[in-house]
Structure 1
Amino acid sequence: MLAGSDRQRVQERNNGGSKISKEAINELPLGKWQGPSLLVTTKTEAEQAAERLNRETILGFDTETRPAFKKGQKFNPSLLQLATGEEVFLIQLQGVGLPQPIREILTNAAITKAGVAPDFDLRGLQAIAPFAPVGFVDLARMARRRGIHNQGLRGLAALVCGLRISKSARTTNWAKPELTPQQLQYAATDAWISREIYLRLRDFPPEHSPEFPMRKNG
């Protein structure tokens, strides 16, 4: 549930303040994930992560992909991030693939997975291993139905949570075997803030039809 001050802040931003400039975002305090981040690099670790994730009902969701700088160049996601309220799991897809226990999380209707434009991320994951995604919520769609014009993750973090998140590591090489502390912080923050945005937006009444988790991809 939204605290009174959080609800008021969201309402104030949406009443004539449903759009925020880059300049205004840059004035906000920097927000980042400060809890434990668990890097998953083996199938055994993936099984352990899935056991923990299966206890949750709401997860923040995101992926990171090596940037393509040449026309026609395309890469599969290198990292899958899933955030609970207490920890963030960073699954290195380059080495572990997409094991069945993790796919079961992505197809579990009882677990809401919240992210911005998850369809794009899911297509990349399906190129690694086939599965039928269930329980995904698009934060951009939620925001649009609530009259919010900024629908990217950075804009939503600013409008909904009053925080500025860094995007400086977005175009770094996510396919490297060893990720830098900056990359790990960036990836964990994106999944964490996705969950936080969902928790705040779900209690704010939509202007149009209610939001339901996606039952399947597309």
Structure 2
Amino acid sequence: MYQPTITNEEINEMPVGHFPGRVLVVDSEETMREAEAVLQGETLVGYDTETRPSFQKGLKYGMALVQISTADTALLFRVKQVPLSETIRAMLSSPDVIKVGAALRDDIRGMRQVAEFRPAGFVDLQAVVRRWGIEELSVKKMAAIILGIKVSKAQRLTNWEAVRLTEPQQDYAAMDAWVCREIYLRLQADDSALLAEAVRGLLQQQPEGEMPSGRKLHARRNKRNPSGARRRTRRKAAAQRTASADNPTTHLESTAQHD
């Protein structure tokens, strides 16, 4: 039903998608309580995060924004201004609330640096869309293939730690979370049984609410392809020997750092 890939030229011919609902910036205890009321009783939400971009090598910023969207309200949690409440953290830990996003492993790793919770009920669209033969994994291209809309990425590299978020930033952040929910609903309408099977498989891979780590995924790849793992190990060792030959102090420096 869906084409497996799509070009940027094709996407540029599509209508630009806009978030149709209300945006609530959560930056105080008062707005946090309002957000809790919005999410009460919800069982399916879109999810995304934003981090201030760094243009300096070696400089990294922590997560600045968490977006959670219902059908008609997008909540933008400014986690550096107000911590997530116990109620919101409980929702993130609940297997009864499906949180739909893309490339979730890194998002959740960043989230757990700013809020203590045990992730459960997270569904990564990148794993789901493969069941429909879709090869594109970016939200922009998944939205184009499945919903037939163009999702603007013009605000992606803006300052998400600014004192106030601009309206374009708010619209962008709201859209990114909301469109994940819409993609999920469209796939559900197309083939609810296939989606249920895909989601069930993903949730079963989250024992005790844990998302698979990058190390575990790397180990799985090595297990599937042990000869490839051995080749990578040999290349790394050869590179280290070359570096040591070029710089005799390398080994001493690395030993000192390890100690």
Q: Deviation string for 1:46-76 (max 9, x for gaps)?
A: 1331232131110000011101222222222
Partner of 1:43: 29
Matched residues, percent identical?
Answer: 38
For the pair 1:96 / 2:69, whether they are aligned, the reply is no
Counterpart Cα distance in 2 of 1:171 and 1:131: 28
C-alpha deviation, 1:203, in angstroms: 4.1
Counterpart Cα distance in 1 of 2:130 and 2:61: 29
Aligned length: 203
Alignment of 1:42-61 (within 5 A): 42-61=28-47
Query: Does the 8 A contact of 2:20 with 2:72 survive in 1?
Result: no
C-alpha deviation, 1:202, in angstroms: 3.0
C-alpha deviation, 1:43, in angstroms: 2.3
Letter in 2 for 1:114: V
Alignment of 1:175-190 (within 5 A): 175-190=161-176
Letter in 1 for 2:157: T
Partner of 1:172: 158
Q: Deviation string for 1:85-120 (max 9, x for gaps)?
A: 121111111100222221111111111000001111
Query: Does the 8 A contact of 1:47 with 1:102 survive in 2?
Result: no
C-alpha deviation, 1:177, in angstroms: 1.6
State the structure with bigger RCO (CA 8 A, min sep 6), 1 or 2: 1
* Residue number among 98, 101, 109 corresponding to 1:123 in the alignment: 109
Letter in 2 for 1:152: S
Mark the runs of 5 or more structure 1 residues left unpaired by the alignment: 1-10
TM-score normalised by structure 1 residue count? 0.88
Counterpart Cα distance in 1 of 2:29 and 2:117: 18
Task: Please tell me whether Structure 1 or Structure 2 has the larger radius of gyration of its CA atoms.
Answer: 2
* Residue number among 59, 65, 73 corresponding to 2:59 in the alignment: 73
- CA RMSD in angstroms comes to 1.6
TM-score normalised by structure 2 residue count? 0.74
Counterpart Cα distance in 2 of 1:30 and 1:103: 33
